[in-house]
Each structure stands twice: as C-alpha cells, then as structure tokens.
Amino acid sequence: MKQKSLYFLAPLMAFLVFTACAQQSDNSAKAAAVQNKNFPDAKPDSYWKKVLSPEAYEIMVNKGTERPFENPYWNNHKKGTYVSAATGKPLFSSNTKFESGTGWPSFYAPINPDDIMIVSDNSFGMQRDEVVEKSTGLHLGHVFDDGPPPTGKRYCMNSYAFKFIPAK
C-alpha cells in the first residue's frame, strides 16, 4: 500500500519541482529588471565576459574573491588612482590606501562615495556589507568598521576589479 502511495505522489512532486523552478526563473527575471533600474549601466553577463579579463569577470560578475597576498595591488605603494576595470570610473586613490595586513588592497575612503553602493551580502553564512559600483552593480569587495581614522572604515577591495593608473 505504501509503495502505491509513493507512485501516486511522484507526478505531484515533479509538478511541484517544475513549478518551483519556473517561479525561480520568474523571480530571476524580476531581479534583473530591478537591477537594471537600480544600476543604469548594468549589462548582461555576456557583455562583461567580452570586455573584462577572466579574473575581473570572476570577481565582478560572479562576486568572487581573489587569493590574499596573490593579487596585483595588495602591495602596490605607487601613487595613483584605482579605476573600475569595467567602466574606467575613478573609485579609490592611493592617498587613502593603507596597509591592513589582510593581503587585499584596503582604503579608508572612496574618491566619491556617490560612485559606490553598499548592499547587504549574506553569502557563506555571514552578514557583510558588499561594495558595488553604483552605475553597474558589479562587485568590488566588502567594507568593514575596523579601518583607520578619519573614517574608521576598511574598504577591502579585490585587485582584479580595478586598473591602476599611476600619477604623472
């Protein structure tokens, strides 16, 4: 009798799984529409795959994290500007860069706070503040409240999200 009940439930379970998947893709479409409204320069992933390096794509689009102490700018002491690898927008300056000891480039302030956005990141069972480029919504890194004065902030950024433009 129990076997018969399970066979009877199988089509119903398949329908529920299908429905859940359909709702997920419907929600994904809604999320994409909201993202495009919130981020005016947002582009499809296929566009970013063509214009970004594989490392920058992994960091910025897939919200990856590069290895500490094994990235281009964690130990960069040159004067200059860190611009978005996606848009070329100047986001951080060597004037606010400091040694955090974390293995990632860290800054106590962006050049213009209006060019970045802080969003909630609850991935990996942690609650963090994610830093994204305001115009595109692309991932740059995270911000923490353990930085130096004057802001007390540590913008812990991924090197591959940037291109460094040396000062002249």
Residues with a known catalytic role: 156
Quote the tokens at residue 91. Answer: 């986001």
Sequence-distant (≥ 6) Cβ neighbours of residue 135 within 8 angstroms? 39, 40, 41, 87, 89, 115
Strands (E), 56-138: 80-84, 90-93, 97-98, 106-107, 116-121, 128-133
